[in-house]
Structure 1
Protein backbone atom coordinates (compact mmCIF):
# COMPACT_ATOMS: atom_id res chain seq x y z
CA UNK A 1 0.00 0.00 0.00
CA UNK A 2 1.34 3.43 -0.91
CA UNK A 3 1.97 5.92 1.89
CA UNK A 4 -0.21 9.00 1.95
CA UNK A 5 -0.23 12.19 3.98
CA UNK A 6 -2.79 12.41 6.77
CA UNK A 7 -3.68 14.77 9.60
CA UNK A 8 -3.75 14.07 13.32
CA UNK A 9 -6.73 15.61 15.09
CA UNK A 10 -6.84 15.84 18.87
CA UNK A 11 -10.34 16.23 20.33
CA UNK A 12 -11.77 16.64 23.81
CA UNK A 13 -14.93 15.04 25.11
CA UNK A 14 -15.68 17.69 27.72
CA UNK A 15 -18.35 16.29 30.03
CA UNK A 16 -20.38 18.14 32.63
CA UNK A 17 -23.51 16.84 34.37
CA UNK A 18 -23.99 13.98 31.89
CA UNK A 19 -23.69 16.21 28.82
CA UNK A 20 -20.85 16.87 26.40
CA UNK A 21 -19.87 20.06 24.66
CA UNK A 22 -20.25 20.19 20.87
CA UNK A 23 -19.54 23.07 18.51
CA UNK A 24 -21.20 23.92 15.18
CA UNK A 25 -18.66 24.67 12.46
CA UNK A 26 -18.92 28.12 10.86
CA UNK A 27 -20.14 28.50 7.25
CA UNK A 28 -16.68 29.71 6.19
CA UNK A 29 -14.91 26.56 7.40
CA UNK A 30 -13.39 24.71 4.42
CA UNK A 31 -14.22 21.23 5.75
CA UNK A 32 -17.76 20.21 6.72
CA UNK A 33 -19.18 23.67 7.42
CA UNK A 34 -22.37 23.47 9.48
CA UNK A 35 -21.48 20.12 11.04
CA UNK A 36 -21.25 19.59 14.78
CA UNK A 37 -17.81 18.73 16.13
CA UNK A 38 -15.94 18.26 19.38
CA UNK A 39 -13.50 20.95 20.53
CA UNK A 40 -10.02 20.27 19.23
CA UNK A 41 -7.85 20.58 16.19
CA UNK A 42 -4.77 19.50 14.30
CA UNK A 43 -1.53 18.56 15.96
CA UNK A 44 1.34 20.95 15.21
CA UNK A 45 4.84 19.66 14.52
CA UNK A 46 6.71 19.23 17.81
CA UNK A 47 3.57 19.54 19.96
CA UNK A 48 2.40 16.83 22.38
CA UNK A 49 -1.15 15.50 22.04
CA UNK A 50 -2.04 16.92 25.45
CA UNK A 51 -0.57 20.38 24.75
CA UNK A 52 -2.42 20.48 21.43
CA UNK A 53 -5.73 19.64 23.09
CA UNK A 54 -5.35 22.22 25.86
CA UNK A 55 -4.36 24.90 23.32
CA UNK A 56 -7.19 24.10 20.90
CA UNK A 57 -9.87 23.97 23.60
CA UNK A 58 -8.72 27.33 24.99
CA UNK A 59 -8.59 28.90 21.50
CA UNK A 60 -11.99 27.59 20.42
CA UNK A 61 -14.01 27.94 23.62
CA UNK A 62 -11.98 30.00 26.18
CA UNK A 63 -12.45 27.05 28.58
CA UNK A 64 -9.82 25.60 30.87
CA UNK A 65 -9.99 21.82 31.08
CA UNK A 66 -8.12 18.99 32.74
CA UNK A 67 -7.39 15.93 30.64
CA UNK A 68 -8.52 12.78 32.40
CA UNK A 69 -7.60 9.97 30.02
CA UNK A 70 -7.21 8.87 26.44
CA UNK A 71 -10.51 7.37 25.23
CA UNK A 72 -9.03 5.93 22.06
CA UNK A 73 -7.88 6.48 18.51
CA UNK A 74 -10.09 6.56 15.45
CA UNK A 75 -9.47 6.60 11.72
CA UNK A 76 -11.59 6.01 8.63
CA UNK A 77 -10.41 4.72 5.26
CA UNK A 78 -12.44 7.41 3.47
CA UNK A 79 -10.90 10.38 5.35
CA UNK A 80 -7.21 11.45 5.67
CA UNK A 81 -7.49 11.88 9.44
CA UNK A 82 -6.49 10.10 12.61
CA UNK A 83 -8.31 11.32 15.72
CA UNK A 84 -7.12 10.94 19.30
CA UNK A 85 -10.02 11.42 21.71
CA UNK A 86 -9.55 12.42 25.33
CA UNK A 87 -11.99 12.59 28.21
CA UNK A 88 -11.81 16.05 29.82
CA UNK A 89 -13.45 17.91 32.66
CA UNK A 90 -13.88 21.60 33.31
CA UNK A 91 -11.50 22.94 35.94
CA UNK A 92 -13.84 25.89 36.59
CA UNK A 93 -17.34 26.31 35.21
CA UNK A 94 -17.03 29.16 32.73
CA UNK A 95 -19.04 30.65 29.90
CA UNK A 96 -18.16 29.25 26.47
CA UNK A 97 -16.78 31.95 24.17
CA UNK A 98 -16.58 30.92 20.52
CA UNK A 99 -14.39 32.26 17.74
CA UNK A 100 -17.02 33.16 15.11
CA UNK A 101 -14.67 32.39 12.21
CA UNK A 102 -14.53 28.76 13.41
CA UNK A 103 -17.79 28.01 15.27
CA UNK A 104 -21.18 29.70 15.39
CA UNK A 105 -22.99 27.78 18.11
CA UNK A 106 -22.34 25.47 21.04
CA UNK A 107 -24.53 23.02 22.91
CA UNK A 108 -24.22 20.75 25.91
CA UNK A 109 -25.91 17.50 24.78
CA UNK A 110 -26.45 13.95 25.94
CA UNK A 111 -25.12 11.14 23.73
CA UNK A 112 -28.73 10.45 22.66
CA UNK A 113 -29.22 14.10 21.64
CA UNK A 114 -25.89 14.03 19.83
CA UNK A 115 -27.19 11.32 17.51
CA UNK A 116 -29.90 13.68 16.19
CA UNK A 117 -27.42 16.37 15.04
CA UNK A 118 -25.60 16.67 11.71
CA UNK A 119 -22.21 15.42 12.86
CA UNK A 120 -18.78 15.67 11.31
CA UNK A 121 -17.93 12.15 9.99
CA UNK A 122 -15.45 11.06 12.69
CA UNK A 123 -17.88 12.07 15.47
CA UNK A 124 -20.74 10.13 13.88
CA UNK A 125 -18.43 7.11 13.58
CA UNK A 126 -17.16 7.20 17.18
CA UNK A 127 -20.71 7.60 18.45
CA UNK A 128 -21.76 4.56 16.40
CA UNK A 129 -18.71 2.61 17.65
CA UNK A 130 -19.78 3.26 21.25
CA UNK A 131 -16.70 5.27 22.19
CA UNK A 132 -18.91 7.68 24.13
CA UNK A 133 -20.99 4.99 25.89
CA UNK A 134 -19.17 5.62 29.19
CA UNK A 135 -21.26 8.84 29.45
CA UNK A 136 -24.56 6.95 29.66
Structure 2
Protein backbone atom coordinates (compact mmCIF):
# COMPACT_ATOMS: atom_id res chain seq x y z
CA UNK A 1 0.00 0.00 0.00
CA UNK A 2 2.86 2.40 0.84
CA UNK A 3 4.35 2.19 -2.70
CA UNK A 4 0.95 2.79 -4.25
CA UNK A 5 0.48 5.93 -2.11
CA UNK A 6 3.90 7.27 -3.18
CA UNK A 7 2.99 6.80 -6.85
CA UNK A 8 -0.21 8.78 -6.34
CA UNK A 9 1.67 11.67 -4.68
CA UNK A 10 4.15 12.26 -7.53
CA UNK A 11 2.70 11.33 -10.93
CA UNK A 12 4.96 11.70 -13.96
CA UNK A 13 4.91 15.15 -15.54
CA UNK A 14 2.37 15.57 -18.32
CA UNK A 15 3.22 16.97 -21.75
CA UNK A 16 2.57 20.69 -22.15
CA UNK A 17 2.15 22.85 -25.24
CA UNK A 18 4.48 25.80 -25.83
CA UNK A 19 4.16 28.39 -28.59
CA UNK A 20 7.35 30.20 -29.64
CA UNK A 21 7.83 32.93 -32.22
CA UNK A 22 10.50 33.67 -34.79
CA UNK A 23 10.31 37.49 -34.91
CA UNK A 24 12.10 38.20 -38.18
CA UNK A 25 13.55 41.61 -38.98
CA UNK A 26 15.67 41.76 -42.12
CA UNK A 27 18.05 38.78 -41.84
CA UNK A 28 17.88 38.71 -38.02
CA UNK A 29 15.57 37.24 -35.41
CA UNK A 30 15.03 37.95 -31.73
CA UNK A 31 16.54 35.75 -29.03
CA UNK A 32 16.58 36.08 -25.25
CA UNK A 33 18.76 34.34 -22.68
CA UNK A 34 16.50 32.18 -20.50
CA UNK A 35 16.20 32.21 -16.71
CA UNK A 36 14.34 28.94 -16.20
CA UNK A 37 14.51 25.48 -14.67
CA UNK A 38 14.63 24.04 -18.21
CA UNK A 39 17.33 25.42 -20.49
CA UNK A 40 18.65 27.98 -18.02
CA UNK A 41 21.12 30.51 -19.57
CA UNK A 42 20.44 29.31 -23.13
CA UNK A 43 19.23 31.57 -25.93
CA UNK A 44 15.63 31.04 -26.99
CA UNK A 45 12.76 32.56 -28.94
CA UNK A 46 10.02 34.51 -27.17
CA UNK A 47 7.09 32.31 -26.25
CA UNK A 48 5.34 30.39 -23.54
CA UNK A 49 2.51 28.09 -22.57
CA UNK A 50 -0.67 27.79 -24.59
CA UNK A 51 -3.65 28.71 -22.42
CA UNK A 52 -6.98 26.92 -22.50
CA UNK A 53 -9.08 27.96 -25.50
CA UNK A 54 -6.31 30.02 -27.12
CA UNK A 55 -5.34 29.76 -30.77
CA UNK A 56 -1.65 29.47 -31.65
CA UNK A 57 -1.78 32.99 -33.08
CA UNK A 58 -3.39 34.43 -29.94
CA UNK A 59 -0.81 32.74 -27.75
CA UNK A 60 2.06 34.00 -29.93
CA UNK A 61 0.81 37.60 -29.79
CA UNK A 62 0.16 37.46 -26.03
CA UNK A 63 3.54 35.91 -25.18
CA UNK A 64 5.50 38.34 -27.38
CA UNK A 65 3.69 41.26 -25.71
CA UNK A 66 4.21 39.85 -22.18
CA UNK A 67 7.92 39.16 -22.70
CA UNK A 68 9.10 41.96 -25.01
CA UNK A 69 6.43 44.67 -24.81
CA UNK A 70 6.04 44.46 -28.59
CA UNK A 71 2.45 44.62 -29.81
CA UNK A 72 2.23 42.55 -32.99
CA UNK A 73 -0.91 44.45 -34.04
CA UNK A 74 -1.70 43.77 -37.68
CA UNK A 75 1.44 41.72 -38.36
CA UNK A 76 0.68 38.35 -39.91
CA UNK A 77 1.41 35.48 -37.49
CA UNK A 78 1.96 32.25 -39.38
CA UNK A 79 2.46 28.63 -38.40
CA UNK A 80 5.84 27.04 -39.26
CA UNK A 81 6.18 23.64 -37.62
CA UNK A 82 5.79 21.56 -34.44
CA UNK A 83 8.43 19.65 -32.49
CA UNK A 84 8.21 17.05 -29.72
CA UNK A 85 10.78 17.68 -26.97
CA UNK A 86 11.42 15.55 -23.91
CA UNK A 87 13.84 17.00 -21.34
CA UNK A 88 15.10 14.15 -19.15
CA UNK A 89 18.52 15.64 -18.32
CA UNK A 90 17.18 18.88 -16.83
CA UNK A 91 16.77 19.51 -13.08
CA UNK A 92 13.02 19.47 -13.73
CA UNK A 93 12.06 16.71 -16.17
CA UNK A 94 9.53 17.90 -18.73
CA UNK A 95 7.91 17.14 -22.07
CA UNK A 96 6.89 19.90 -24.47
CA UNK A 97 5.08 19.91 -27.76
CA UNK A 98 6.44 23.16 -29.21
CA UNK A 99 4.55 25.09 -31.87
CA UNK A 100 6.84 27.38 -33.92
CA UNK A 101 5.27 30.51 -35.39
CA UNK A 102 6.72 33.32 -37.50
CA UNK A 103 6.15 37.06 -37.75
CA UNK A 104 7.95 39.14 -40.37
CA UNK A 105 8.47 42.68 -39.08
CA UNK A 106 9.09 45.65 -41.35
CA UNK A 107 12.88 46.11 -41.25
CA UNK A 108 12.43 49.85 -41.89
CA UNK A 109 10.27 50.39 -38.79
CA UNK A 110 11.59 51.01 -35.29
CA UNK A 111 10.68 48.10 -33.00
CA UNK A 112 11.32 48.82 -29.33
CA UNK A 113 12.05 45.59 -27.50
CA UNK A 114 11.91 45.59 -23.70
CA UNK A 115 12.83 42.95 -21.16
CA UNK A 116 9.39 42.94 -19.52
CA UNK A 117 10.04 39.76 -17.50
CA UNK A 118 13.60 40.11 -16.14
CA UNK A 119 12.96 37.24 -13.72
CA UNK A 120 12.54 34.93 -16.77
CA UNK A 121 15.01 36.47 -19.26
CA UNK A 122 18.39 38.19 -19.02
CA UNK A 123 17.58 40.32 -22.08
CA UNK A 124 16.69 40.33 -25.79
CA UNK A 125 18.77 40.98 -28.88
CA UNK A 126 18.66 40.50 -32.67
CA UNK A 127 20.90 37.82 -34.20
CA UNK A 128 21.59 36.81 -37.78
CA UNK A 129 21.13 33.15 -38.67
CA UNK A 130 24.81 32.94 -39.65
CA UNK A 131 25.99 34.48 -36.34
CA UNK A 132 23.93 32.95 -33.52
CA UNK A 133 24.94 33.06 -29.85
CA UNK A 134 25.76 30.00 -27.76
CA UNK A 135 24.36 28.03 -26.17
CA UNK A 136 21.02 27.86 -27.97
CA UNK A 137 17.99 26.33 -26.26
CA UNK A 138 18.08 22.66 -27.23
CA UNK A 139 14.87 22.45 -29.36
CA UNK A 140 15.92 25.54 -31.35
CA UNK A 141 19.49 24.31 -31.78
CA UNK A 142 18.28 20.90 -32.98
CA UNK A 143 16.00 22.50 -35.60
CA UNK A 144 18.60 24.93 -36.92
CA UNK A 145 21.39 22.33 -37.06
CA UNK A 146 18.97 20.10 -38.96
CA UNK A 147 18.78 22.73 -41.70
CA UNK A 148 15.59 24.53 -40.69
CA UNK A 149 15.62 28.10 -41.98
CA UNK A 150 12.89 30.36 -40.51
CA UNK A 151 13.32 32.76 -43.45
CA UNK A 152 12.48 30.09 -46.06
CA UNK A 153 10.20 27.52 -44.44
Pairwise TM-score range, normalised by the shorter structure: 0.7 to 0.9
With structure 1 as the length reference, what TM-score do the two structures score? 0.84
SS at match of 2:114: coil
For residue 72 of structure 1, the aligned residue among 81, 84, 87 is: 81
Partner residue, 1:35? 42
For residue 125 of structure 1, the aligned residue among 142, 150, 153 is: 142
Aligned partners of 1:71 and 1:131 also within 8 Å = no
Classify 1:130/1:68 alpha carbon distance in 2 versus 1 (closer, same or farther; 3 Å). farther
Q: 1: distance between equivalents of 2:123 and 2:46?
A: 12
With structure 2 as the length reference, what TM-score do the two structures score? 0.75
- Bigger Cα Rg: 2
Q: CA deviation at 1:77?
A: 4.9
SS at match of 2:119: coil
SS at match of 1:113: coil
Q: Which runs of 5 or more structure 1 residues have no equivalent in the other structure?
A: none
Alignment RMSD, CA only? 2.1
Q: Which runs of 5 or more structure 2 residues have no equivalent in the other structure?
A: 1-12, 88-93
Q: 2: distance between equivalents of 1:128 and 1:9?
A: 21
